[in-house]
Every structure is written in structure tokens, then in C-alpha cells.
Structure 1
Amino acid sequence: MYGLMLGNLNNQDFEDNRITSLACYVKKVEELYSILENENRENKENMDNDGNDSEKIHLENDGKRELYFRGQDSIDYRNTCPSLFRNEKYYANESNMINDFIAKYPDLFKDCQNNVDRLALMQHHQLPTRLLDLTTNALIALYFAVEKDNCKDGVVYVFNNFYNKEFIDKALNVSFSELDVSHSIFKCLRIKSSKRDSFSDQVEIETSLARMKRKDSKGFIKEVMKFYEGLSKYYSAKNQKVYWKDAYEEYLQNLHRQQHKCSFKDICMCNTKKILNLYDDFNNAIPTIRLYHAIERDSGNFDHIINPVEMYLPKIVTPRIIDQRIKNQQGLFMLIPIDFDPDPNPKPDLDPEVKTKKRRNRIQSRINTLLYTNKENEAVAFTIPCCMKEKIRKELSNIGISKSFIYPDATHYAEDIADSYLN
């Protein structure tokens, strides 16, 4: 395959599409959407013919498959990880960077209603965050792939909102190869779609965790790992009939019926009691309580309910349109959850580059769960040879996709005017 020596991105197999012009790219993207339309129609027909009403309702709530695009100006990056995970010092000081930025420019965030709004603004002002920029507009992604003349081939990756089960298995092997965590915990989640809005409770939990002090967030991650390992013991038991998804839904229904908080220990379902007691211990642990307090300081009242299993998977988050750049770029984000480091207390003399590489591999494997694939389960990507970048940039400019559109401010508009007289 040309160009895509994608033994990068954790050795993921890719279907390579070489792009030599804007017209070529548009044609290939149109073919993708045609395939997607057929897939969605077939999925709907299969749902209509499915006699399992509860599963049908769940799938309908997941909605249709959608496509998202990410352009990178160099195929040699060999990862699509957010900037936060590419540098060990950035990762270690995530909460400090966030809180320093808010303290320095409080007026910038006056219209923000939650932490994902704040992270989105920080991302657009080049602060390293755990958000991965995506767009629903394939032309915007193409611009980012050809933006720089750096003698490197550009690339556009294609993501979607449905998790790939095979890729989840690969990610679990990378994340938990050294830990006693059963894949069955995640397989029975029955979550198909990753899409969340900016007011999702799960999104608020994960973005609030990013603002906590490093010591507190590490304590919470240890509690999540303890829960995973405890839950795995029940899944390895013979004739185990109770799954976490079922137990969690039973608890939520019980809360709704009683209209007040209760302990999992109050639920008298013999088959689920041990699993629910395990969760009760997690929910009442000091690091978890500290996280709830952090959320309440930011957003007011918040039910003390976390689904720790869902925290493993990345989410596609649609932000509010809080600035012109997000609007023009038709941007949305992949929110990368907490990193499950099998060695949370490594030796002080461990090479930071080694730590960063291991973390990047773990994170990349989870990002890969949302790659869009063809029938052969190869992820789809488009490569743009470096010799074609200038030509395609001009073609994009002719239809209004230029630097001043992507970055709407006076400086970039002036650059576009000046460039127009050079061409």
C-alpha cells in the first residue's frame, strides 16, 4: 500500500486511498457516504425485523452511524493522540495547566457552562488537552492535511460514532495485559454509539477529573482499577449469570422508583448483590467522593452515580458553538478518558520518553476503537503526497476553504489577502 506504513497507530491495518486532487478526494468521500447510507438502511431494516424489543430500543437510542474526519499534515506522526499524551510533563501537569489558564484569562470563559466548554476553548488556543480535534466536514480535514509544506505526506483519518468490537479487544490487550481484568466486563456493556452532548453526565465526570489535583485523580484511577479487578473475579466464576450492565440498570431503576438515593446493599436481588456491594465500595471511596465534590463546585447538584466501566471508552462530544472557529471548522471532539497505567508508581529513574511511548500506545489503542472500517475491517484513510499539497490548497481556497476561514481573525485574513497577490 502506498505511503501508509501504518505499522503506526498500534499496527492497525488501513485501506489506503491516494489523493491527487480535490475532485479525487470529493469523489472518494461521496463513495464513503454512499456506503454509509446503505449500512444505516440495512441496520434499520434488521432492527425492524428484530423481535427483541429491549435491544431494539437500545439500538434506536444509539442512532445512525456518522462520519468524522481528522487531517494531519504529516503521516510520520504515527499517532493521532491529543497533545497532552505526547509529553510526560504535560500529562503530569494537566490540572495545573487548565487552572493556570482559567486564572490568567477568566473573561475568556465567562460564557462557558461546563468543563468541556472550557477545554474546547483551551484546545483552540493551543493548550495541550485530552481532546482530539475532529470535524464533520471532510474538506476542513483535507485543509489541515495540506496546510504545511513540510516535505511530508499529509493524511486524513476517518472516524465514526460506533465502537468496533474487534478493536476494543485489541485495546484491552494493550491496556490490561499485566492486570487481571476480564474482557467480559466490557463486552456486555452493549454500548454501540460513542456520541455524547456537552451536557452529558459522563462527559462532566471525565472532564472534571482532568481538573483535579494529580494526587486526587491518581487515587480515583486506583479505585476504578480496584473495581475492574474485583468485578473480573465474578466474571471468571462458573455459571455466572449476572452482568455489570444488568446490575447497573437494576440499580438505576431502583433509584427512579424510590426517588431517593439508596445503597446498592439495599437491593435484595441475590444474584446481583455481590457485584452491587463491590460498586458501593467504589462509590463511597474517598477519591470518588472528592470527584463528586469537584463536579458539584462546577455544576451544582449532581447525582452521585458513576458508571466506572464506561470510563474506559473514548467519547465523541459535540460542543456548544462558543466561538467562530468551532462554527467554521464544524468541529467536534473525541474525549479521551483516564489512562489505566498498570504501573502507577514507576521507578523515578524510568526514562520519560519510555513512559510517554507506553502511555501513547495505550491511548492510541482506545482511539482506534472509533476508526471507520471497510468490509475487510481495515480502517479508512486518505494520503496526500507532499508534491500535491500546494495544488490542493489552491483548489480549496477557490471554494472558500482558506486560512482566514479556518482561523477567523484579522491576522489570518490579512495573510490570505497578501497571498492572493502572490499567486
Structure 2
Amino acid sequence: MDLAEFITKIEGVGISDGLENYFRGHSDYTFKLEPSVYRNGLITSEDKIFKEAIIRTPYEFQHHKSTCEKLVKMQHYGIPTRLLDITSNPLVALYFACNEYPEKDGEVVFFQVPANFIKYYDSDSVSALSNLARQKANFECDFTKMSIRKFNRQTHMGFLHHSIKEEKPYYQEIIHPADLESVFVVKAMFDNARIINQQGLFMLFGIRSNKNFSATVPIEWVLNMMRPEVNFKIPAKDKLKILAQLEVNGIGESTLFPEIEYQGSHLKQKYAKVK
């Protein structure tokens, strides 16, 4: 595969009414669609990770009012969160599918997400799922059929409501059970150059019954799974060639990672004399 072939495949899919297209690059096609806090048993310490990050670098969060904003900042610096990075630019996803693990096949995951699952950063649903990060490891609630009023009166739901009201005093203490079990695409504020350059968004994951079990991305969102003839797997042998083609077209480390430490890495590679 090369860049031209990839673009042709993407263009062939098109846009569907009521759906928005998003992408994620996996440098190893076996990677799962799960947020980093659900890997390696980290979920049992999610609330501690959240608090420790703020305690250790309070100046980084002093202008961030909501938990969602804080999670986005943490994700930016590689702290495990319940967010998963995605992009609206398929070429950015292609870069991430190629930039690591040169010996492994990569993949661009193509999502078509219904509009009602796409939220802005200040949505009440986003506040609910974001503040799960602040709840203790034993947080749980009963999702069996009951009235919304009864669902919201469960003991642990009270703790979640309290966390939300800290950032939204007007909040009415009503969460729909389906929201808490969902995955939403969040349009966060473009408050740093990396998000802007990567045309970044996030998937925000809810839970199933308790914090130990993450909500899952609906299979019907993933075009690769629903349309087997649309294959976005990137052969390992083609990764370096595609990275070079992307660089010519303005997609590379220096553009996607504008922070100075990445600029240094890029300049060393660019001007190093090969003996």
C-alpha cells in the first residue's frame, strides 16, 4: 500500500447522512479500542491517578474548570485516562498507524458515529462520564430496569452527582442510565497546538455495572468491521514508504507534535549526516 492507494480507499467510502467520520491509527493492528486507564490494572487506581496528577503539577490545571478539560490535559501528557484519541483527518491517523512498531502491520480504524453520540466539552453527559474518573474503585450502580429517579438515588450515584455539581452548581442530578453505559465522541476545546494540528477529538468511555468494566465502542460504528471489503490494514513493509510520503505532504512529527522537544528530535533526524 502507498499514500495514493490509501486516499483512494478513504474517498471510496464517502459520507453517510446523520453520521460523522472519524479515524484512529494503530501501529499494531491487534491493539484494542480501549482507553489507557483500562490497561494493566490501572482502573483500580483511576481516582488516585487523577488526584496525583493535579497535586504534582497544579499550575498545569489552574485554568481548567471542568473534569473533562483536566482529563484532556492529562491525556496530552500521557497520563492514563478514560479518553481515547481520535482525529477527523485520515492522514493523521495513517501517520500514527505507521510511526511505531516497524515490524508489525498497522491499521487505520474508521468510525462512522451517529450525531447523537457526538457531544461538546460542556455537555452534562460528558460531565457525568468524565467525573467517573474521580470516583473510588468500588463505584458501582444497578443498570437493571428501574425509573430514572430511582437509578439516580443509588448510593454511589450520589457521590457522582456531588462531583458534577462542583463544576456545575446548576446541575439537576439526573443522569440517564444509557448515558453512563455509553461511549461519546467529545469535541474538546482547541487549547493547545497539538490538538489543533492533529485535528484531534476524543472518545470518552462510560462503564458497565461498575468501574472495572469499560463501556465498549459499538461495533456498528467501526466501518472496518461492518464492511469487510474495506480493509485499512497497513502492511509493515510499507510503513517507512508511507511515512516519507506523508512528510512530503506536511504530515509528520514536526507538524503533529509542535512542542519544542519534538522539534529538536525532528531537526536532529533531518540534519544528521549519515556516514
Using the TM superposition, give the Cα deviation of residue 380 of structure 1 relative to its aligned residue in structure 2, in angstroms: 4.6
State whether residues 402 and 416 of structure 1, in contact with CA within 8 Å, keep that contact through their aligned partners in structure 2. Answer: no
State whether residues 134 and 332 of structure 1, in contact with CA within 8 Å, keep that contact through their aligned partners in structure 2. Answer: yes
1 CA distance for matches of 2:265 and 2:82? Answer: 30
**Structure 2 residue 219 is matched with structure 1 residue 368:** yes
1 CA distance for matches of 2:254 and 2:199? Answer: 15
Q: Quick check: 91-100 or 148-157, which moved more?
A: 148-157
State whether residues 149 and 390 of structure 1, in contact with CA within 8 Å, keep that contact through their aligned partners in structure 2. Answer: no
Alignment coverage as a number of residue pairs: 273
2 CA distance for matches of 1:65 and 1:76? Answer: 26
Give the alignment of 1:178-327 within 5 angstroms. 193-215=116-138, 218=139, 221-222=140-141, 224-225=142-143, 228=144, 231=145, 278-327=147-196
What residue identity is the alignment partner of 1:313?
Answer: S
Q: Aligned with 1:76: secondary structure?
A: coil
How has the CA–CA distance of structure 1 residues 413 and 373 changed in structure 2, closer, same or farther, with 3 Å as cutoff? closer
How has the CA–CA distance of structure 1 residues 81 and 407 changed in structure 2, closer, same or farther, with 3 Å as cutoff? same
Q: Aligned with 1:193: secondary structure?
A: helix
State whether residues 94 and 108 of structure 2, in contact with CA within 8 Å, keep that contact through their aligned partners in structure 1. Answer: yes
Which one of the candidate residues 387, 394, 398 is aligned to 2:248? 398
The root-mean-square deviation of aligned C-alpha atoms, in Å, is 2.2
How has the CA–CA distance of structure 1 residues 67 and 195 changed in structure 2, closer, same or farther, with 3 Å as cutoff? same
What residue identity is the alignment partner of 1:421?
Answer: Y
State whether residues 111 and 322 of structure 1, in contact with CA within 8 Å, keep that contact through their aligned partners in structure 2. Answer: no
Gaps of 5+ in 1: 1-19, 41-63, 163-191, 232-274, 345-355
Partner of 2:269: 419
**Aligned-pair identity (%):** 29
Kindly name which structure, 1 or 2, has the bigger radius of gyration based on alpha carbons. Answer: 1
Using the TM superposition, give the Cα deviation of residue 421 of structure 1 relative to its aligned residue in structure 2, in angstroms: 3.2
Using the TM superposition, give the Cα deviation of residue 117 of structure 1 relative to its aligned residue in structure 2, in angstroms: 1.1
Using the TM superposition, give the Cα deviation of residue 159 of structure 1 relative to its aligned residue in structure 2, in angstroms: 0.8
Normalising by structure 1, we get a TM-score of 0.60
Larger fraction in helix: 1
What residue identity is the alignment partner of 2:8?
Answer: K
**Structure 2 residue 63 is matched with structure 1 residue 111:** yes
Q: Aligned with 2:208: secondary structure?
A: coil
**Structure 2 residue 77 is matched with structure 1 residue 125:** yes
Normalising by structure 2, we get a TM-score of 0.91
Q: Aligned with 1:117: secondary structure?
A: helix
2 CA distance for matches of 1:379 and 1:209? Answer: 38
State whether residues 109 and 224 of structure 2, in contact with CA within 8 Å, keep that contact through their aligned partners in structure 1. Answer: no
Question: CA offsets per residue over residues 61-84 of structure 1, 9 Å max, x none?
Answer: xxx31100000111133x121111
How has the CA–CA distance of structure 1 residues 86 and 379 changed in structure 2, closer, same or farther, with 3 Å as cutoff? farther
How has the CA–CA distance of structure 1 residues 379 and 159 changed in structure 2, closer, same or farther, with 3 Å as cutoff? farther
How has the CA–CA distance of structure 1 residues 80 and 280 changed in structure 2, closer, same or farther, with 3 Å as cutoff? closer
Gaps of 5+ in 2: none
Larger fraction in strand: 2
Q: Aligned with 1:75: secondary structure?
A: coil
1 CA distance for matches of 2:245 and 2:116? Answer: 35
Question: CA offsets per residue over residues 108-149 of structure 1, 9 Å max, x none?
Answer: 122323111111111111111111110000010000011024
